C-alpha cells in the first residue's frame, strides 16, 4: 500500500510535501515534481518505521534528530573521493615523550556527550510539553516558548552542545540582535519578539546546565545584557511607545453598543469595566460574579498573572453580562468547568485543539471584527479588542496614579513595598471607576432611527473629521 503524504503550502502555493508522524507535522521535501514526491514518500516510510521502533522501545515522541537520521538514510552514503595519486606509506614516527611535570599541569579533557544543540532543543521542548496542566491553563506560555526556541535555531548551526562557548553564544545572540526579517511579513522582527526569543535561549541553556549537559563558560550570562526592549528599539519605535493607547471615544462607544448583539455587549462590558481580554473572559466562572446589595462585582485571580482583582460593574453593563450568563448551560456534563461563557458549540471561548498542536481557537476576536465591520459605515475606527481595557486603564491613571491602573489590569509589580509591606486599595479603584462611569455613561443612550444620522455626524466630529453629508454639500 502506497504511503499517503499531504501537500505543503506557503502563502497559498504548493511548495512541497508533508506528513504527520509521531504527533508532529514534518515538512518532508521541497518541490512538486514526481521525483520530489517519490523522495517524500520514501522519507515518510523510513520515518514511520523509526517511529514504530521508538514506540516499541517505550518512547513517546519523535525528535528532530530522528528526522535527520531518516533523511540521511534516504539520501544514501556520502561518496568517498578517489585519491588522485598513490600515497607512499607513511613512516612511523615515535610518539613524543611528554615530561610528567607537564602532563600534571594539563587540564583534564571535558567529557563529551555527543549531543547536538538541535537534539537538546528537541528534548527541552518535549520536557516543556510534559509540564502542561490538564486544563491547559499554561499552554500559552509553554507552546509560545517552544515556538520561540524553534525560531532560535535559525541563528545557530547544529553543532555539538559542548562546543557552544562564549564566542558562539555571542554570535548566536547577535544574529537576533540585528533583527532579521520576519518569515511572515518580511519586515524586521519587533523588539519584543526578539527579547522573547533571547529569553527562551537563556531558559534553554539554564535547563542544559541543570541537566549537566552543558558546561557554561565564565560570565556567560553577561552575553544577554544588551538585549532589552529599550536597546533593541529604534528611535522611531521609542517615540511610538511613548504615545498614549489609541481607544474609541464616547461617540464611537455609543455606536458600538447600539450595533452590538447581546454577546458583543457583554464582551465590551467585561473589557471596559473589568479590564478583561479574550483569555480572561474565556476563563471566567459563575462563582467569579458576586451580587452585593443589588450590584454586580467580579472577583477573581487573573488567569495570566495570578494577581487578585475586584471590579465593580455599572448597571447597564451588568444587565448585558447577566443576559449572556443566562444563556450559558450549567449542566456539569456540558460545562464541567463551570465556565461563565461558551461558544454555540459549548466549547471555551479560547481553547486549543490538543496538547501537541499549536492551533488556537479564539471566538471573541472574530465577533469583535464583525462588530467593527458593521460600525465602519458609521465612521468608527478599527481598533483591536485589547485596547478596550487599555483605554479604561489610561483613564484610571489620568485620574489617580499608576498603582491603581496596575490594580485595574491585575498586573504584577516588582515594587518591594507592594510585595512585602502594603497593598493597593480596591475601594479607591472602585471610587475611580464610578467617577469614570458618571462621565461616559452616555455611551449607553439608545440611538433610534430618526437620530442615526446625527450619531454618525457626532462620530466624525469627535475624530476631528468633516461628516459625510457636509462633504457632499461642500462638493
Chosen domain end from 75, 101, 134? 75
Is residue 225 domain-shared with residue 259, that is, in the same domain? no
Is residue 408 domain-shared with residue 337, that is, in the same domain? yes
Determine the Cα–Cα distance for residues 439 and 453; give it in Å rounded to an integer: 23
466 belongs to a structural domain:
no
Q: Which of 192, 254, 213 is nearest to 445 (CA)?
A: 254
- How far is C-alpha 383 from the chain's CA centre? 20
Close Cβ partners of 223 (under 8 Å, ≥ 6 residues apart): 166, 169, 170, 173
Measured over the CA atoms of residue 261, residue 262, residue 264 and residue 265, the dihedral's sign is: positive
268 belongs to a structural domain:
yes
Query: Is pLDDT above 90 for 58?
Result: no
Is residue 334 domain-shared with residue 441, that is, in the same domain? yes
Q: Which domain holds residue 46?
A: 6-75
Chosen domain end from 56, 75, 94? 75
- For the chain, what is the total number of helices (H) and then of strands (E)? 20, 8
Query: Is pLDDT above 90 for 298?
Result: yes
**DSSP string of 342-359, one letter each residue:** B-TTS-BSEEES-TT---
Task: Tell me the three cell numbers of residue 404.
Answer: 491603581
335 belongs to a structural domain:
yes
pLDDT at res. 304: 80
**CATH assignment at residue 401:** 1.10.443
Is residue 272 domain-shared with residue 368, that is, in the same domain? yes
- How far is C-alpha 142 from the chain's CA centre? 9
Is residue 300 domain-shared with residue 367, that is, in the same domain? yes
- In the chain, the number of structural domains is 3
Query: Is pLDDT above 60 for 102?
Result: no
Is residue 423 domain-shared with residue 276, that is, in the same domain? yes
The two beta strands, 350-352 and 308-313, are unpaired
Which H helix or E strand runs over 300?
Answer: strand 295-301
- What does pLDDT average to over the chain? 84
Is residue 71 domain-shared with residue 185, that is, in the same domain? no
Q: What is the CA radius of gyration of the chain?
A: 30
What is the pTM for the complete model shown? 0.67
Is residue 224 domain-shared with residue 290, that is, in the same domain? no
394 belongs to a structural domain:
yes
Chosen domain end from 241, 267, 289? 241
Determine the Cα–Cα distance for residues 467 and 463; give it in Å rounded to an integer: 10
Determine the Cα–Cα distance for residues 376 and 433; give it in Å rounded to an integer: 29
Is residue 302 domain-shared with residue 228, that is, in the same domain? no
Is residue 221 domain-shared with residue 302, that is, in the same domain? no
101 belongs to a structural domain:
no
Average pLDDT score over residue span 60-74: 81
Is residue 260 domain-shared with residue 308, that is, in the same domain? yes
> What is the tens place of the pLDDT at every residue in 4-32?
888 887 766 777 888 888 878 888 887 77
Measured over the CA atoms of residue 337, residue 342, residue 347 and residue 349, the dihedral's sign is: negative
Is residue 344 domain-shared with residue 421, that is, in the same domain? yes
Amino acid at each position: 500500500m502506497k504511503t499517503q503524504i499531504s501537500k505543503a503550502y506557503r502563502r497559498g502555493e504548493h511548495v512541497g510535501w508533508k506528513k504527520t508522524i509521531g504527533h508532529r507535522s514534518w515538512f518532508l521535501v521541497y518541490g512538486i515534481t514526481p521525483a520530489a514526491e517519490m523522495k517524500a514518500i520514501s522519507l515518510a516510510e523510513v520515518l514511520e518505521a523509526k517511529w514504530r521502533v521508538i514506540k516499541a522501545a517505550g518512547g513517546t515522541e519523535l525528535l528532530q534528530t530522528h528526522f535527520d537520521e531518516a533523511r540521511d538514510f534516504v539520501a544514501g552514503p556520502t561518496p568517498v573521493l578517489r585519491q588522485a595519486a598513490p600515497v607512499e606509506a607513511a613512516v612511523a614516527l615515535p610518539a613524543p615523550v611528554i615530561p610528567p611535570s607537564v602532563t600534571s599541569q594539563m587540564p583534564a579533557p571535558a567529557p563529551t556527550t555527543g549531543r547536538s544543540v538541535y537534539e537538546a532543543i528537541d528534548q527541552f521542548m518535549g520536557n516543556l510539553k510534559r509540564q502542561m496542566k490538564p486544563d491547559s491553563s499554561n499552554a500559552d506560555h509553554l507552546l509560545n516558548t517552544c515556538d520561540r526556541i524553534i525560531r532560535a535555531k535559525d541563528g545557530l548551526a547544529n553543532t555539538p552542545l559542548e562546543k557552544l562557548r562564549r564566542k558562539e553564544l555571542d554570535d548566536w545572540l547577535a544574529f537576533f540582535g540585528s533583527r532579521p526579517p520576519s518569515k511572515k511579513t518580511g519586515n524586521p522582527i519587533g523588539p519584543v519578539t526578539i527579547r522573547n526569543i533571547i529569553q527562551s535561549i537563556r531558559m534553554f541553556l539554564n535547563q542544559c546546565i541543570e541537566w549537566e549537559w552543558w558546561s557554561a563558560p565564565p560570565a556567560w550570562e553577561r552575553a544577554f545584557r544588551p538585549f532589552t526592549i529599550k536597546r533593541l528599539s529604534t528611535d522611531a519605535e521609542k517615540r511610538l511607545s511613548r504615545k498614549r493607547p489609541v481607544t474609541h471615544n464616547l461617540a464611537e462607544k455609543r455606536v458600538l453598543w447600539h450595533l452590538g448583539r447581546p454577546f458583543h455587549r457583554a464582551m465590551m462590558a467585561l473589557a471596559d469595566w473589568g479590564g478583561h481580554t479574550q483569555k480572561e473572559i474565556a476563563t471566567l466562572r459563575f462563582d467569579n460574579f458576586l451580587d452585593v446589595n443589588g450590584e454586580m462585582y467580579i472577583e477573581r485571580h487573573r488567569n495570566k498573572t495570578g494577581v487578585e482583582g475586584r471590579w465593580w460593574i455599572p448597571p447597564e453593563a451588568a444587565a448585558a453580562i447577566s443576559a449572556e450568563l443566562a444563556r450559558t448551560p450549567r449542566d456539569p456534563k456540558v460545562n464541567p468547568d463551570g465556565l461563565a461563557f461558551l461558544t454555540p458549540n459549548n466549547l471555551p471561548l479560547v481553547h486549543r485543539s490538543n496538547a501537541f498542536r499549536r492551533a488556537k481557537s479564539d471566538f471573541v476576536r472574530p465577533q469583535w471584527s464583525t462588530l467593527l465591520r458593521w460600525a465602519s459605515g458609521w465612521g468608527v475606527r478599527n481598533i483591536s479588542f485589547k485596547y478596550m481595557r487599555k483605554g479604561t486603564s489610561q483613564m484610571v491613571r489620568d485620574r489617580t496614579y499608576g498603582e491603581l491602573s496596575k490594580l485595574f489590569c491585575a498586573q504584577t509589580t516588582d515594587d518591594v513595598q507592594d510585595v512585602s509591606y502594603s497593598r493597593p486599595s480596591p475601594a479607591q479603584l472602585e471610587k475611580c471607576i464610578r467617577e469614570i462611569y458618571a462621565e461616559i455613561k452616555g455611551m449607553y443612550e439608545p440611538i433610534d432611527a430618526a437620530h442615526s444620522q446625527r450619531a454618525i455626524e457626532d462620530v466624525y466630529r469627535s475624530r476631528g473629521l468633516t461628516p459625510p453629508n457636509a462633504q457632499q454639500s461642500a462638493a
